[in-house]
Structure 1
Amino acid sequence: MYGAAAAGIVEGMTSQRIDALDVLRGIAIMGTLGTNIWIFTSPAGPAGALAALEPAGALETFLRFLTNGKFLALLTLLFGVGLELQYRSARRRGTPWPGWYLWRAALLFAEGLIHYLLIFEFDVLMGYAVTSMVVAYLIGRSDRAVRWWIIGVGSAFTAVIGLLTAALLTAPEQRAGRADEPVTLFTEGSYADQVAARIDSFALYRLEAVFIVPLGIVLFLLGSRLMRAGVFEGSERGTVLRRRLMLLGFGVGAPLNLLTSFAGEGWFLVDRYLLPPLVALGLLALVTTVAHRLSGAPGLLRRGLTGVGRTALSCYVLQNLVAAALCYGWGLGLAGRLADQGPWWPVAAWAGVCALFTVLAALWLRRFDRGPLELAWQWAYRAPQRSRRSGGPGADGAERSRDAVRSP
């Protein structure tokens, strides 16, 4: 899904556009950890995730606002961009669509399932896999049909969030996620105990997919159509479109999202699923604009983000594995030891883990053109096709954009 550079370049692709996608992926991957780190650093771990609904200090609330839902939405938009690139590649080669893309989606689902069972309860890859199977049959339809799908699914999703929010606001006050006895599974339990708990609570932890899949359909299709509209281009049309997205994201979405972050636990669903996608559109436009304006050799920050973007799948899994080893009882157990250190402890943990996998990504890319999990995935993807190939081993790879290989 996220591979390394292939030899060919999709028609009309510029190096700035490719760099922007790499940097955006890197930012999205780091941003998702910015949301998840509050789960890892909680002594209750994922079992206490609903504690995010409870009142917190102003500083912690603001820090959570910076990441909550926004980078998940950005990553989802980028999956839609990747799906568009895969569709273009198939059309250009004259191969059936969705064809082998469904095998890609099946592999992504398997990766997500393994990631869920062995590492992290709130994996998003399984939800993305299901979403991509649906969107694969929609992406080639007319712009009018896709527009109605976006409006229809988006309106239904918004209505459901609105009804659930109304129910939360009118329900008797209660503290979600609190138990009479503290949860010790993640501070004292073994690794095997945690895996068993994920199996036992599969339905509970996979409940977020109810929100991720319909939201993903909207954002996948929107990412595809934004690319067709030229949002990553350096043309005047692309510049105007990005300005509008930044106005929508930072002028409308961000202030409203900040308001709901401090409005109380009843607004949790709006705060996580409805307003963050608006901010994500602004982020996508801002990062792309900056990438077009940069010239010369990339600096340390840009190289780091690009490296993470080029090894996005590996970094996504690695960051969760490292955070778990850092925080849980079977590792260093810092979540229990530093629970009283306030909101700066999660921020420090996030920065440390990000720095680690940024360095590891840079070192790995000195010898390989894609991440370790990307290499394993590419082997699994090509294995059933080898007997059907008629050309040389490079015939297929040279025809793809490196962005198409990296994306779902």
Structure 2
Amino acid sequence: MGGRITALDVLRGVAILGTLGTNIWIFTDPAGPAGFLAGASGAGEALLRMVSNGKFLALLSIMFGIGLALQHDSAVRRGQRWPGWYLWRSALLLFEGMLHFTLIFEFDVLMFYALVSVLVAFLVGRGSRVVWAWLAGAAVVHVAFVALLTVGLLAGAASIDGGGLVIDTSSWLAHARSRLDNVVALRAEAVFVLPLSTVLFLAGARLLRAGALEDSERGRRVQRRLMAWGLGLGLPLNVLTTLAGGAWFAVDRYLCAPLVAFGLLGGITALVHRMRESAGPLRRGVTAVGRSALTCYIAQNLIASVLCYRWGFDLVGRFGHLGVLFTVAMWLVVSSLLVVGASWWMNRFRRGPVEAVWHWAYVAPQRWIGPPAVLDVPSSRRAGSAAD
């Protein structure tokens, strides 16, 4: 695949802005993360939360798997050793996630993305049987986790209401200290979703190989199937589990939402190909967000923190009583800043600011140690993806 895949940039941009749609409820809740975990105050708010809850984070995970597969294929074409220097990328991502968690946002996803990427890096080039075996095994473990948690919630033996979680936002330093004091509680979900992330990463890699992003008959066939399962089946189930109450939280967020994410992947890709000749300002802006996804992910959490928390402008203290209206307004404000800022930057530079620093950190040791090792790979392997 030569050049950038337009649909991939749009999908990343949608995933980043959609992830903000989930996180914005945390920033705008007067009780902070504990209030967000306590759940919606009514059916209307629950349905509004459902629009973004879980599905865009799942979409972002699928995109990460697709990106990993693209890097693997590029290394194979060049005859470079794999995973090789990719493991350094994972180490950098883990370090960046630790900084992001400590300094900016308590529900960082970069740390567990880094951990999962190491495992998937060793699997992505293996044959179909090996990949499907790992994918199925991780799916079974994940479903078992969800089932156990759901049984516990239904029986009243488990709780996700954030009781006892105290996050002090009176100052930036106090906020950072609160994250470290509550690191076990705040990182619990990251551990819980490791099997799910493995499934989504591997599924993303398999979908790339199946042509899910292609503007071809094969690609359109895959996109239709994704929409049928994700939107035709997953979306109605998502509505049902949302309205069923807090006891079905795990099924709603960790089973139904990822299923909807596959439908979004198919639907957005099909729409991008259908409208490829009419890219307006909004699509160009979303594409710019996707091209600078790492910068925008960190920036959205930093901007929302400054606007909402007491150590910043404390807009929650002033307007938090407006509830859903305030939350939606904050999402629109932060999203607009991201779209405008990313468009301005990407019109002038090749990479986003965080991506540029990250790329330098990735390349620098290679200059000292030497270029990646080149293997004697048969030309048939260099021409395409790993043989199944």
* TM-score between the two structures when normalised by the length of structure 2: 0.92
- The question of 1:94 aligning with 2:83 is answered no
Q: Which residue of 2 aligns with 1:169?
A: 154
- The question of 1:295 aligning with 2:280 is answered no
Which 10-residue stretch deviates more, 336-345 or 35-44?
336-345
Q: Which residue of 2 aligns with 1:58?
A: 43
Counterpart-to-counterpart distance in 1, 2:57 and 2:162: 23
Q: CA deviation at 1:238?
A: 1.2
Q: Which residue of 1 aligns with 2:385?
A: none
Counterparts in 2 of 1:269-284, with a 5 A limit?
269-284=250-265
- The question of 1:85 aligning with 2:75 is answered no
Q: Which residue of 1 aligns with 2:141?
A: 156
- The question of 1:49 aligning with 2:36 is answered yes
Which 10-residue stretch deviates more, 210-219 or 102-111?
210-219
Counterparts in 2 of 1:103-182, with a 5 A limit?
103-171=88-156, 176-178=161-163
- The question of 1:71 aligning with 2:56 is answered yes
The one-letter code matched in structure 2 to 1:321 is L
- The question of 1:343 aligning with 2:324 is answered yes
Tell me if structure 2 keeps the 8 A contact 1:28–1:74. Answer: yes
1:338 match: secondary structure: helix
Q: CA deviation at 1:172?
A: 6.3
Q: CA deviation at 1:149?
A: 1.1
Counterpart-to-counterpart distance in 1, 2:157 and 2:183: 28
Counterpart pick for 1:29 among 1, 6, 16: 16
Counterpart pick for 2:242 among 248, 252, 261: 261
Q: Which residue of 1 aligns with 2:375?
A: none
Point out which structure has higher relative CO (alpha carbons under 8 A, 6+ apart): 1
Counterpart-to-counterpart distance in 1, 2:292 and 2:276: 23
Q: Structure 1 residues 173, 203: closer, same or farther in 2, change over 3 A? A: closer
Output one character per residue of 1:303-352: Cα deviation in whole Å (capped at 9) or x when no partner. 11001001100000000000001100011101122221121110110010
Output one character per residue of 1:33-57: Cα deviation in whole Å (capped at 9) or x when no partner. 00000000012222433222xx522
The one-letter code matched in structure 1 to 2:348 is R
Q: CA deviation at 1:171?
A: 1.4
The one-letter code matched in structure 1 to 2:19 is T
Tell me if structure 2 keeps the 8 A contact 1:260–1:270. Answer: yes
Output one character per residue of 1:188-224: Cα deviation in whole Å (capped at 9) or x when no partner. x111100111111112111111222111110100000
* TM-score between the two structures when normalised by the length of structure 1: 0.88
Q: CA deviation at 1:59?
A: 1.7
1:99 match: secondary structure: coil
- The question of 1:205 aligning with 2:186 is answered yes
Output one character per residue of 1:45-84: Cα deviation in whole Å (capped at 9) or x when no partner. 22433222xx522221111000000000000000000000
Counterpart-to-counterpart distance in 2, 1:338 and 1:177: 23
- The question of 1:312 aligning with 2:293 is answered yes
Q: Structure 1 residues 147, 333: closer, same or farther in 2, change over 3 A? A: same
Q: Which residue of 1 aligns with 2:379?
A: none
Tell me if structure 1 keeps the 8 A contact 2:212–2:222. Answer: yes
Tell me if structure 2 keeps the 8 A contact 1:25–1:309. Answer: yes
Tell me if structure 2 keeps the 8 A contact 1:324–1:331. Answer: yes
Q: Structure 1 residues 157, 295: closer, same or farther in 2, change over 3 A? A: closer
Q: Which residue of 1 aligns with 2:212?
A: 231
The one-letter code matched in structure 1 to 2:30 is P
The one-letter code matched in structure 1 to 2:178 is A
Output one character per residue of 1:4-31: Cα deviation in whole Å (capped at 9) or x when no partner. xxxxxx35x6x6xx11001000000000
Counterparts in 2 of 1:344-383, with a 5 A limit?
344-383=325-364
Counterpart-to-counterpart distance in 1, 2:268 and 2:353: 27
Which 10-residue stretch deviates more, 203-212 or 64-73?
203-212
Tell me if structure 1 keeps the 8 A contact 2:152–2:158. Answer: no
For these two proteins, the number of residue pairs brought into alignment is: 372
2:322 match: secondary structure: coil
Tell me if structure 1 keeps the 8 A contact 2:153–2:159. Answer: no
Tell me if structure 2 keeps the 8 A contact 1:31–1:67. Answer: yes
Tell me if structure 2 keeps the 8 A contact 1:59–1:343. Answer: no
Q: Structure 1 residues 211, 172: closer, same or farther in 2, change over 3 A? A: closer
- The question of 1:185 aligning with 2:148 is answered no
Unpaired runs of 5+ in structure 1? 1-9, 392-408
1:369 match: secondary structure: coil
Q: Which residue of 2 aligns with 1:403?
A: none
2:123 match: secondary structure: coil
Unpaired runs of 5+ in structure 2? 373-388
CA RMSD in angstroms, aligned pairs only: 1.8
Counterpart-to-counterpart distance in 2, 1:250 and 1:184: 37
Counterpart-to-counterpart distance in 1, 2:215 and 2:107: 37
1:67 match: secondary structure: coil
Q: Structure 1 residues 174, 47: closer, same or farther in 2, change over 3 A? A: closer
**4+ residue segments displaced more than 6 Å:** 172-175
2:185 match: secondary structure: helix
Which 10-residue stretch deviates more, 319-328 or 333-342?
333-342
Q: Which residue of 2 aligns with 1:218?
A: 199
Q: Which residue of 1 aligns with 2:27?
A: 40
